[in-house]
A and B are shown apart, each in its own frame.
Chain A
Amino acid sequence: MSFIMNGNPFPHPSQPFIISPHRFQNRSKSQILRRIPARRVILLACSLAALLFFFFPTISSLASASLSSSIFRDDPLITTVHHYDLAHSQGTGRGWEREERVLMCIPLRDAAPHLPLFFSHLRNLTYPHSLIDMAFLVSDSKDETLLLLNTLLERTQADKDPYMRFGRIEIFEKDFGQVVGQGFSDRHGFDAQGPRRKLMARARNWLLSASLRPEHSWVYWRDVDVEIAPSTIIEDLMRHNKDVIVPNIWRPLPDWLGGEQPYDLNSWQESETALQLAQTLDEDSVIVEGYPEFATWRPHLAYLRDPYGDPDFEMEIDGVGGVSILAKARVFRSGAHFPAFSFERHAETEGFGKMCKRMGLSVVGLPHYVIWHMYEPSVDDMRYMGEMIQARLRKEKEQQEKAKETKDDNDRMAEAAAIAKAEMEAVKKKALSSTSGESPLQEAGKESDSLEMYDNPEYFLDSVKAAEVRAAKQVAREIEQARRDAEKKAKEEQEATKNGRKFSSESKKEKKVIIAKDA
């Protein structure tokens, strides 16, 4: 190219041969650029562009936005129209970095005593709080659950540290009518299971359908009565990037019951026996796990725990428990829910697991990643604990009796009560010393109607010790009652004997009068 421009080395025969172009010419400046190979120019342009992007990253977002989603954007002037691309809320394994929103669903029923502890768990969550929306369903509650929930939420949302505040919070109230009571023995009796599970399934579905929005990528189901759970639990479960994932749920027990126990038996793998059993049952019946009436021989997540096992170890499961479920929002968007009818002979969370499997989703449990449910003593447990405390008291009393045999009955009663009180204090002190003591200590045992009672540190104790305290209190109350009864009885007897004496003396007087009259 260049020498054509310099002159004409091959002139047309019709033109005269000109020699002049062969003399020296000064190079023009533009020729320097021409000498640079095109490759270099491109390289230079690219590096310049790269530099621009690095220093002004907003340019890139502008460019991509105009390319891809110019037609799928909200007009800021029209507030009633919203566009959502669900592809942006599918959920990935690193949601906290991609700012994926998590919807936390918490069903509540007569849960006031558990709320303070639950809120301390919430506060500790390490997943960015602003990315967590919360939905509570308060149903069929007779205690002050709603009032307390509101108070605690307002406190949380007005936290001095703005990073402690959560996103949108919704409280739904809906009563479903209760088939069974909420006591431990009521809830866990076999006959109650079918209808109870169906009712809970309805509650869960109402909560989810009312609160799920297009911008949610994950849904985290959590029960309030969880005692110990890692504060990183959302990230820990999310990292596995599964459609549905649950940890293992255990519960602590008093030492005399063995110290600990698997709690949630609803996470299991399907077995041949169970499938055969299911075929023998009619369409509307529900198999519930963990009852001798249905021997399913399924491998339970709970029983497979190894305290020293790898917490990231995954196990495919078919039924899931509802204490702590992390699921991608698209699972619910594609229609999976908690069947309030018998779905393949299962209901609620177990049916949910089955349905997810049917839809080809991944359902996984972590056998060695454990969270701890609260210990709720059964009536029998409470009685036994009371008996233990009384036996101890009796023993001490006997020892003291041996020392001072001359004591009066009434005095001894009073002393027993005092001992019980001391016992209670000791148990309480021991329990308190093991907690962090973050809440202000208040006089325990003073049960007022106000919400103040929930600032009671007893609700922050661990559940086993709390049960012991309760048992000790019960014993103290019984002894106090017995003392009062005895006092009353003694008084009545005194009165009676006094009256008796009076009566007899009066009658003597009368007799005397009569005698006098006669005389």
Chain B
Amino acid sequence: MPSYRQRSRPLTIITVSGVALIILFYLLSTSRSSSEVRVRPPPAAGGAKSISHYPMNGLTSSWQPLARQEHVLILTPITRFYEEYWNNLINLNYPHELIDLGFILPRGREANQAIQRLDEAVNALQTGPKKNRFASVSILRQDFDSPFSQSEKDRHALSSQKERRAAMARARNSLYTTTINAGISWILWLDADIVETPASLIQDMASHNKAIIVANCYQRYVDHGESKIRPYDFNTWQDSEAAAKMAQNMGDDEVIFEGYAEMATHRTLLASMRGAGKDINEEVPVDGVGATALLVKAEVHRDGAMFPSFPFFHLLESEGFAKMAKRLGYQAYGLPNYLVYHYNE
């Protein structure tokens, strides 16, 4: 056994000296880092370049956004990336140099796939021909976990609506508060599953010169080999007495959702107001809006209208947004005959 001990000695020496070195280095490095490296981040560049002026008095959001070269911010919360959505976005014929894009993604594996595909698409576009490039693209990842799984059935179950819509509201708020800058005139909320819109969507909707305006969201489907359309988004509606009465008997934290048999609100839905062949420019005042394709004057958001993640007059998210905007003095309008199409799973 003594021979064994002798043989292992060089190793012990190496280990001990290694540990000693680490301790020594640690002692030296902490005293250095605490005094300068950690406590003091590098100084700012400063200079006149760091000061910028934004005169916002002349900022307009008019019925002729093109003539006035008004900037538009397109915002999209995105969980799944659809090629059709992207192609439709690129095909919008409003000048791309006047458009900023903002995306927000949840955390999680499914979203990581979406990020990768979105990144590829964005990078390809922004390095491609100049006239196709957008002014800027911000891709955000939200700082909280979304409680919902995204299967179609789960998504629409009444029990999970409150949580799901609240998380969606937070995501939307995170997106717009950090991406609106002083030059933006209009904000277009365009959902990631809107796969078909007219190419002149922005000009068409802005020409109505309303603070908040929403298109009618339908879905294409195939029935017995025949292509048909059906209403999809039920969040745009005119209020009803039944709903008002329902709200009166509710506790502060209860929410009314649209489109569920458990809650018969008898509201007039935008989706049901469509008449085939009718005037595409017809507009109707609405009390709740869906955010699938929603054009908003920037001042509405700047004044403070946001997507409530808590029951605001028993409404959540985009429906609550319309209510809050109304309290700030902005009326929302819907376009019953102007259609955009939702992805069909």
A interface residue numbers (CB < 8 A to B):
32, 35-36, 40, 43-44, 47-48, 50-51, 54-55, 71-72, 75, 77-78, 80-87, 89-90, 96-97, 99, 128-131, 150, 153-154, 157-159, 162-163, 165-175, 201-202, 205-206, 208-210, 212-214, 330, 332-335, 337-342, 358-359
CA distance A110 to B51 in the complex (A): 20
Which of chain B's residues has its CB closest to A53's CB?
B22
Q: Which 7 A-B pairs have CB atoms at the shortest separation, nearest pair first?
A: A165-B46, A162-B43, A335-B173, A130-B44, A86-B143, A341-B327, A174-B56
Tell me the total A-B contact number using a CB cutoff of 8 A: 207
Return A141 CB to nearest CB of chain B, in Å: 12
Return B18 CB to nearest CB of chain A, in Å: 5
Return A164 CB to nearest CB of chain B, in Å: 8
- A–B pairs, 26, beta carbons within 8 Å: A36-B11, A44-B11, A47-B19, A71-B112, A72-B141, A75-B123, A80-B133, A81-B122, A81-B136, A81-B137, A84-B141, A150-B51, A154-B48, A157-B47, A158-B48, A159-B46, A165-B43, A165-B46, A208-B177, A209-B176, A212-B177, A333-B170, A334-B174, A337-B304, A339-B304, A340-B303
A90 touches B328 (CB 8 A): no
List B residues 1-33 near A (Cβ within 8 Å): 4, 7-8, 11, 14-15, 18-19, 21-22, 25-26, 29
Query: Which one of B224-232, B243-251, B305-313 contacts A?
Result: B305-313
Among A83, A333, A335, the most chain B Cβ lie within 10 Å of the Cβ of A335
Which of chain B's residues has its CB closest to A166's CB?
B44
Residue B180, interface by CB 8 Å: yes
Which of chain B's residues has its CB closest to A283's CB?
B327
Indicate whether A171 sits within 8 Å of B178 (C-beta atoms), given known contacts A36-B11, A54-B25, A54-B26: no
Which of chain B's residues has its CB closest to A73's CB?
B119
CA distance A55 to B182 in the complex (A): 46
Residue B138, interface by CB 8 Å: yes
Residue B268, interface by CB 8 Å: no
B interface residue numbers (CB < 8 A to A):
4, 7-8, 11, 14-15, 18-19, 21-22, 25-26, 29, 38-48, 50-57, 107, 112, 115-116, 119, 122-123, 126-127, 133-143, 169-170, 173-174, 176-182, 301-304, 306-310, 324, 327-328
Tell me which residues across on chain B come within 8 A of A78, comparing CB atoms: 123, 126-127
Tell me which residues across on chain A come within 8 A of B107, comparing CB atoms: 87
B143 touches A330 (CB 8 A): yes
Indicate whether A205 sits within 8 Å of B127 (C-beta atoms), given known contacts A173-B55, A174-B57, A335-B309: no
B139 touches A71 (CB 8 A): no
Tell me which residues across on chain B come within 8 A of A168, comparing CB atoms: 50, 52
Tell me which residues across on chain A come within 8 A of B22, comparing CB atoms: 47, 50-51, 54
Tell me which residues across on chain A come within 8 A of B123, comparing CB atoms: 75, 78, 81
B15 touches A173 (CB 8 A): no
Contact of B15 among A43, A128, A167 (CB under 8 A): A43
CA distance A243 to B42 in the complex (A): 27
A96 touches B302 (CB 8 A): no
CA distance A338 to B324 in the complex (A): 12
Tell me which residues across on chain A come within 8 A of B307, comparing CB atoms: 335
Report whether over half of chain A's contact residues are helix, strand or loop; otherwise say mixed: mixed
CA distance A359 to B306 in the complex (A): 13
Indicate whether A170 sits within 8 Å of B306 (C-beta atoms), given known contacts A40-B11, A50-B22: no
B18 touches A206 (CB 8 A): no
CA distance A48 to B291 in the complex (A): 56
Return B55 CB to nearest CB of chain A, in Å: 5
CA distance A186 to B172 in the complex (A): 39
Contact of A44 among B15, B143, B177 (CB under 8 A): B15
Return A199 CB to nearest CB of chain B, in Å: 11
Indicate whether A162 sits within 8 Å of B140 (C-beta atoms), given known contacts A44-B14, A75-B123, A212-B177: no
CA distance A262 to B11 in the complex (A): 71
CA distance A455 to B142 in the complex (A): 47
Tell me which residues across on chain A come within 8 A of B176, comparing CB atoms: 209
B301 touches A209 (CB 8 A): yes
Tell me which residues across on chain B come within 8 A of A167, comparing CB atoms: 44, 50
B135 touches A210 (CB 8 A): no
Contact of A171 among B53, B173, B303 (CB under 8 A): B53
Among B8, B26, B134, the most chain A Cβ lie within 10 Å of the Cβ of B8
Contact of B178 among A47, A84, A159 (CB under 8 A): A84
CA distance A89 to B142 in the complex (A): 10
CA distance A158 to B48 in the complex (A): 8
Tell me which residues across on chain A come within 8 A of B38, comparing CB atoms: 97
Tell me which residues across on chain A come within 8 A of B14, comparing CB atoms: 44
B51 touches A335 (CB 8 A): no
CA distance A80 to B43 in the complex (A): 25
A80 touches B136 (CB 8 A): yes
B26 touches A335 (CB 8 A): no
Contact of B169 among A43, A130, A335 (CB under 8 A): A335
A80 touches B135 (CB 8 A): yes
Return B117 CB to nearest CB of chain A, in Å: 10
Return B142 CB to nearest CB of chain A, in Å: 6
B126 touches A81 (CB 8 A): yes
B178 touches A173 (CB 8 A): no
Which of chain B's residues has its CB closest to A172's CB?
B54
Among A85, A170, A333, the most chain B Cβ lie within 10 Å of the Cβ of A333
CA distance A288 to B302 in the complex (A): 24
Return B341 CB to nearest CB of chain A, in Å: 28
B50 touches A86 (CB 8 A): no
CA distance A169 to B18 in the complex (A): 49
